[in-house]
Amino acid sequence: MREVYIAGVGMTKFGRLERGQLELFGEAAMDAINESNLKPKDIQALFLGNSVSDLDEGQTVLASHAASEIGLDHVMATRTEGACASSSIAIIIAFVMVGSGFFDIVLAGGCERNTASPTALATRIMNTGPHHRYESPTGITFPGMFAMMAHMYAKKYGVSLERLKEWMAMVAIKNHKNGAKNPKAQFQKVITMDDVFSSIMVASPLQLYDCCPISDGAAAVVVASGNVAKKLTNKPVQIIGVGQASSGGLSTQRDYTLPVARVHSSRQAYKMAGLKPEDIDVVELHDCFTIAEIVATDTLGFTEPGRGGIAVEKGETEIGGRIPVNPSGGLKAKGHPVGATGAAQVYEIVNQLRGKCGERQVEGAKVGMTDTLGGPFASIGNIILKRGW
């Protein structure tokens, strides 16, 4: 298999935006293409992650329309869907296509305009992830799922809910502090413990500041073979490991504190990269709710099981700590336009490895990892990247 690199990246600001998904993706895509010193005619295929464009904007065949929007007529254009992991899957497919030699230069990324729908409808649309026969009729929601995860975590590791809530608040505070340094983040303000604990209850023990927002946005990357990428940029970033795994609905999963799809996906990525968790310098992981970050640091091997919250308390996951987590602000502060999230995580890691992140730069970062979770812990994508120069 050939070496595969990222030559360029692009990303819009995240938030409540007044442009449609095609316009948003066009902006991110052209930024990635221009940064790669390419023209649209050089792109051989497009893989576009998107979850609910047909429901939010009434638009299907999104990848083909997106390709046409930026002058990629007649290329292979494919939409990938894995809920929040949609654009991670798109990048993984691009990696396989380039690595196999089928293509030399591929554009991959994602977009979503989740604020196009009123809150009640957006909540219903988001809730298409759970199993429509066995789970949705029970009234389960994503805040409800992660609230159950929090209760299970507390019971499994003998932690009081009060203590766990403090750890979760620390996650929110850390990520908002990072987001305040990210000009593309949806929320760019520092928050306090009082802000978290005085916010409304959403699904006990999760309060408002434990939950990521509904967002609009897009992100894109140019994936190229080694010999091509090294001609396009003097700072190519190599994809050295990928993993993707799935599982069934909630009823098939015995332990929400150890999502089985993440276990398999991350192991695949580590094995391909020939690395261990301690080799990773920086990680962008799926913190759709604050408990999700704590569980993910455990599952990915950055902390021992049950100690993810302690790591936050000790500052180990801060920028400058042992394993910086979500220097972009994460989904919690950067925002979460579902189909764009995985590509946005890659955007951040690429810029971290290139030393381009300003106040939120992780000094000396040479290897980074992304982790994106889709649906009811049912679709996971992991990507490991390293400096290619």
Residues 112 and 173 reside in one and the same domain: no
Residues 282 and 185 reside in one and the same domain: yes
CATH number at residue 372: 3.40.47.10
User: Which SS3 state, helix, strand or coil, does residue 136 take?
Assistant: helix
Residues 320 and 366 reside in one and the same domain: yes
User: In the listed set 205, 238, 271, which residue is the last one of a domain according to the structure?
Assistant: 238
Q: Closest Cα to residue 337, out of 57, 71, 35, 31?
A: 57
Residues 252 and 362 reside in one and the same domain: yes
Residues 81 and 207 reside in one and the same domain: no
Q: Please check whether residue 109 lies inside any domain of the structure.
A: yes
Residues 209 and 303 reside in one and the same domain: yes
Residues 269 and 195 reside in one and the same domain: yes
Residues 349 and 262 reside in one and the same domain: yes
Q: What is the C-alpha to C-alpha distance for residues 48 and 28, in angstroms, rounded to an integer? A: 12
Q: Please check whether residue 132 lies inside any domain of the structure.
A: no
Condensed to tens digits (0 to 9), the pLDDT of residues 231-286 reads 999 999 999 999 999 998 888 888 999 999 999 999 999 999 999 999 999 999 99
End-to-end Cα separation, the chain, in angstroms: 20
Q: What is the C-alpha to C-alpha distance for residues 313 and 316, in angstroms, rounded to an integer? A: 8
Tokens of 133: 């026969």
Q: What is the C-alpha to C-alpha distance for residues 351 and 235, in angstroms, rounded to an integer? A: 10
CB 132: neighbour CB atoms within 10 A?
Answer: 11
Q: Please check whether residue 328 lies inside any domain of the structure.
A: yes
Instruction: Tell me which residues are annotated as active site.
Output: 84, 336
Tokens of 256: 């929400």
pTM equals: 0.98
* Dihedral sign for Cα atoms in the order 72, 242, 351, 259: positive
Q: Report the domain count for the chain.
A: 2
Residues 370 and 344 reside in one and the same domain: yes
Residues 66 and 107 reside in one and the same domain: yes
Q: Please check whether residue 134 lies inside any domain of the structure.
A: no
User: In the listed set 201, 222, 238, which residue is the last one of a domain according to the structure?
Assistant: 238
Tokens of 176: 């908002």
Residue 84 is part of which domain span? Answer: 4-119+214-238
User: Which SS3 state, helix, strand or coil, does residue 238 take?
Assistant: strand
Alpha carbon separation from 276 to 169, 249, 314, 351, 367 (Å, rounded): 29, 29, 22, 22, 11
Q: What is the C-alpha to C-alpha distance for residues 298 and 287, in angstroms, rounded to an integer? A: 13
Element (H, E) at 179: helix 161-179
CB 258: neighbour CB atoms within 10 A?
Answer: 17
User: In the listed set 238, 271, 290, which residue is the last one of a domain according to the structure?
Assistant: 238
What secondary structure letter does DSSP report for 276?
-
Element (H, E) at 149: helix 142-157
Question: Locate tokens 């310098």: which residue?
Answer: 281
Q: Helix 260-273 and helix 290-299: axis angle, to 10°? A: 50
Q: Please check whether residue 133 lies inside any domain of the structure.
A: no
Q: Please check whether residue 126 lies inside any domain of the structure.
A: no
Residues 65 and 95 reside in one and the same domain: yes
Residues 246 and 374 reside in one and the same domain: yes
Q: Please check whether residue 124 lies inside any domain of the structure.
A: no
Distance of CA 356 to the CA centre of its chain: 19
Q: Please check whether residue 125 lies inside any domain of the structure.
A: no
Counts of helices then strands in the chain (DSSP H, E): 14, 11
Asked if residue 237 lies in contact with residue 6, where contact means CB atoms within 8 angstroms, the answer is: yes
* pLDDT (tens place) for every residue of the chain, 389 residues total: 999 999 999 999 999 999 999 999 999 999 999 999 999 999 999 999 999 999 989 999 999 999 999 999 899 999 999 999 999 999 999 999 999 999 999 999 999 999 988 888 888 888 899 888 888 888 899 999 999 999 999 999 999 999 999 999 999 999 999 999 999 999 999 999 999 999 999 999 999 999 999 999 999 999 999 999 999 999 999 999 999 999 988 888 889 999 999 999 999 999 999 999 999 999 999 999 999 999 999 999 999 999 999 999 999 999 999 999 999 999 999 999 999 999 999 999 999 999 999 999 999 999 999 999 999 999 999 999 999 99
